[in-house]
Amino acid sequence: MLSEIIFNQDIDNDLIKEILYDFHKNGPIDNSHLETLSYLKKYNADSFKKYESKLMFLMGLFYKTEEPNSFIEAIYNAYAETIMSETGHNFTPVQADAYLSIKKYTNFSFSAPTSAGKSFLFQELIKETQGDIIIILPSRALISEYLIKVKKLVSKETLVLQFIEVVNTKRTKNRIYIITPERGEELFKNIPKLNVELILLDEAQISEEGIRGMKFDSLVRRIDKKLSNIKKVFTHPFILNPEAQFQKHNITQSTDSETYNQKTVGKIFIEHSKSNFKYFSPFQDEMNGKKIEGDIIKETIKNNGTALIYISKAKIYSGDFIESFADYIELCPIITDKESLSFIEKIEAFFGTKDDSEKSSMLIYLMKRGIVIHHGSIPLNARLIIEDFVNSHHAKICFSTSTLIQGINMPFDIIWINNFTFRGNEDQKTLNLKNLIGRAGRVTLADNHFDYGYVVVESRNKRTFINRLNTESSLSPLSNLDNPTDPNNEDFIDIVDAIKNDTFNSELQLTESQITRIEKADLDTQISFILDNFLNQELEPLTVKEYYVLTDYKRKKIKKALENIYTAHLRRTEFGDGEKSVLSASIPILLWQIQGKSFAEIISLRYAFLSEKDFRRKLRRKLKNEEISISEFKKQLFEKKVRFSCIAEALPNKSFKRPVPLFNRNTSVTDIDFDTIIYDTYDYIDKVLSLSVKDPISSALILYFEKTNDKRSLILSNYIKYGTNDETEIWLLKYGFSFEDIELIIGHIERIDETEIIFKKSINKFITNPENYKLIERYI
């Protein structure tokens, strides 16, 4: 039996020779063979070494080979030299084939496993492209990783931004924009100013995902219409028909597609039940469930390995995961390494928790032990730091949600799938599962070294896991844009029609039908009321304190006016109670942004409001003045409940009928979770304000200005869109600086416009700090 062979202390030469021959004949495509090789290396490492050189050649991993030691290795070495001669790069056969197709065809779509080396292929394409590059990613969760890598890859003369602005033109040789489909509209108003040479559409299977897929498809169609001759590359993991990207958009000119099944990393599969671990094979039934002595997770962590534990967002928010995985958390001591601590200090500064005992962050507490949390509601700047922390090998454990599925390249020795909930239809669930387990096993650059990783599955999910792993996934050749049975509600009919008819206004970021609806909505009285009451005599927005000094009547009228302005662009005239609650909660956050508050300040202010800081301060004063006893102080403090706030939810959302509280109504102010406020506040800034509210309201104000010439509406539009009406600050935002960055550098700006930034002499002292230099090095 196979299990007797692979667990034997002596390696079976006939078995490994049979696998090597199959790799020579068919390539490294058989998952079962890769699994067997993983066991052979694990249990016979010394004997396995003599085969690893040949294995690397046969797997096409030429960047991990040395001088050939046999005739067959010499043949493969000649193949590697041919690839280098034809492409100019040290590519694997998969990378070389894809590279040559990209060079030959205008449109190329391919599918490849997670560890196939797509990142290196992209890096080489980016480095040799002379013109502008657009990189389109499925979600903002991926942007941070790309920003880090691309900035390290290119020279200072290349502008790298996560939105499309044509700035620094005097000092820029080319531009790389890393965007999501939602930001794609910005491309079309800037086409005349750009020299687009390459468009990379990564994780393009997003086309299957409802509204997000429709936005992606709409962007693809507009790109094909406006930039038909520009080179476009679509990538996907684990799908059978990458050509579907062309079929669904009727792209027929200069196309090619390919499905690559070659793998580079082996996997060992383990089932977990009640603290017991045992091996199983999803590919053959001969493993017999051999029990693993001890705890393989603990052993990996003790041996400086890394583990990713895939859990639900609900468990992270509730903190239940701390108790569930306490044994592993305790294995991670407090970090003392200076470089590791520097990442943590950045997070503390960003969250505003340093030297503030009242703001206790579990995320930071765990990070101090080399344990990270990763999910989509962690602010982008914080995710940048966390991902850099992981990729710099400072993390031992990562608790993550589905953000890792979306293509973030943070490989681990072990992937433990504790949560088996995956979104989408059965095809999407299968694809997401394969994408996740692709993170198991770190691809090293060590010569003659076969890499493998572990995948741990709960016993109760084992059967479903095996079925999905052995099922192929396909893309639909029909776009949701053309699907008459698509269950989208009335809120998105305008977008679908505008996509089909190319009637999207790039300046206002709305469809023409939405603009017409705003113009016909008779909003003049309501906009005038907001301008009269939202701006002071200096034409600056109210502070939050001033906002709450307004009479209850005026505050309600402002909220209702903003609600009416926002809903005017929709096909329906009424918001549900849940939507109203979200919009209401977003207004103070919008005001704080308008006042230029940093993220740390915004969450501090929101924490103070929700945790009844004024009440707590008065209560402490009473205790200090001996007006109440310590027991009475504790009693009153415990009995004081957290203020109600609705969770963030992207608008419009007709199904969000009732407000959902951020905290349980019985939560005491003593039990408020600071991290939850961080995550929800970021969701409000990102999902509600940036992606939902700002464009319709600021556009309505611009239309009002065109009608009345009331300059106050342009001022307020700028405040809503940018968070400021200061011209220098707006330019700095367009250059990609955050408000936190702007606070540091604005005093050193002599002049700024679309052509360049001119700094004052004082900048020389500022950049003696390496972190400060890093902030502005591309603009000096």
Rounded mean pLDDT of 379-392?
Answer: 86
Q: How far apart are CA 762 and CA 284, in angstroms?
A: 68
* Ranges 169-178, 196-205, 385-394, 707-716: which has the least confidence: 385-394
Q: 111: helix, coil or strand?
A: strand
Residue-level pLDDT at 598: 84
pLDDT tens for 261-318 read 999 999 999 999 988 899 999 987 665 678 888 899 999 999 989 999 999 998 999 8
Q: How far apart are CA 607 and CA 574, in angstroms?
A: 31
Residue-level pLDDT at 738: 84
Residues in the chain: 780
CA-based torsion, 770, 774, 778, 780: positive or negative? negative
CB 251 within 8 A of CB 224: yes
pLDDT tens for 494-525 read 777 776 777 778 778 888 888 999 999 989 99
Cβ atoms within 10 Å, residue 627: 11
- Angle at which helices 493-501 and 210-226 cross, to 10°: 20
Q: Are strands 174-179 and 255-259 parallel, antiparallel or unpaired?
A: unpaired
Q: Cα 7 from chain centroid?
A: 40
CB 371 within 8 A of CB 362: no
Q: Are strands 265-273 and 276-280 parallel, antiparallel or unpaired?
A: antiparallel
Residue-level pLDDT at 4: 59
Residue-level pLDDT at 1: 44
**DSSP assignment, residue 646?**
B
Q: 484: helix, coil or strand?
A: coil
- Angle at which helices 493-501 and 512-519 cross, to 10°: 130
Q: How far apart are CA 178 and CA 133, in angstroms?
A: 9
Rounded mean pLDDT of 519-543?
Answer: 88
> Tokens for 23?
């790799």
Q: How far apart are CA 108 and CA 104, in angstroms?
A: 9
**DSSP assignment, residue 241?**
-
Rounded mean pLDDT of 558-575?
Answer: 85
CATH class of 265-469: alpha beta
**DSSP assignment, residue 332?**
S
Rounded mean pLDDT of 530-534?
Answer: 89
> Tokens for 259?
């499905």
Q: How far apart are CA 110 and CA 98, in angstroms?
A: 8
CA-based torsion, 155, 157, 158, 161: positive or negative? positive
Question: What is the rounded average pLDDT for all residues in the chain?
Answer: 89
Buried b (16+ CB within 10 A) or exposed e, 81-110: eebeeebebebbbbbbbbbbbbeebebbbb
- Residue 563 identity (one-letter amino acid): E
Residue-level pLDDT at 490: 67
Strand locations in 435-567, DSSP E?
Answer: 451-458, 504-505, 510-511
Q: Which residue has the higher pLDDT, 681 or 409?
A: 681
CB 184 within 8 A of CB 206: no
* Ranges 57-66, 292-301, 356-365, 692-701: which has the least confidence: 356-365
Residues 6+ apart with CB under 8 A from 250: none
CB 198 within 8 A of CB 171: no
Q: How far is CA 777 from CA 605, 711, 768, in A?
A: 33, 37, 12
SS3 labels along 382-416: HHHHHHHHHHCCCCCEEEECHHHCCCCCCCECEEE
Q: Is the pLDDT of residue 484 over 80?
A: no
φ, ψ (nearest 5 deg) of residue 646? -75, 145
Q: Is the pLDDT of residue 56 over 80?
A: yes
Residue-level pLDDT at 485: 54
- Residue 736 identity (one-letter amino acid): G
Percentage, residues of the chain above pLDDT 70: 96
CB 565 within 8 A of CB 524: no
626, burial (CB in 10 Å: exposed 0-12, middle 13-18, buried 19+): exposed
**C-alpha angle 516/522/524, rounded to 5°?**
115
Q: Is the pLDDT of residue 486 over 60?
A: no
Q: How far apart are the first and last CA of the chain?
A: 67
Is 265-469 the same fold as 93-259? Answer: yes
Strand locations in 717-768, DSSP E?
Answer: 749-752, 757-759
CB 388 within 8 A of CB 148: yes
Q: Is the pLDDT of residue 425 over 90?
A: no
Residue-level pLDDT at 179: 93
φ, ψ (nearest 5 deg) of residue 47? -70, -30
Least Cα distance to 674 among 457, 428, 399, 365 occurs for 365
pLDDT tens for 597-656 read 888 999 999 999 999 998 999 999 998 998 999 999 999 989 999 999 999 998 888 889
Q: Is the pLDDT of residue 487 over 70?
A: no
CB 366 within 8 A of CB 278: no
Could you tell me the residue ranges of all domains in the chain?
A: 93-259, 265-469, 490-722, 727-779
Q: How far apart are CA 236 and CA 234, in angstroms?
A: 7
CATH class of 93-259: alpha beta
Residue-level pLDDT at 645: 94
H or E segment and range at residue 158:
strand 158-161
Q: Is the pLDDT of residue 79 over 80?
A: yes
Residue-level pLDDT at 758: 95
With bands split at pLDDT 50, 70 and 90, how would you rate the model's confidence at 248? very high
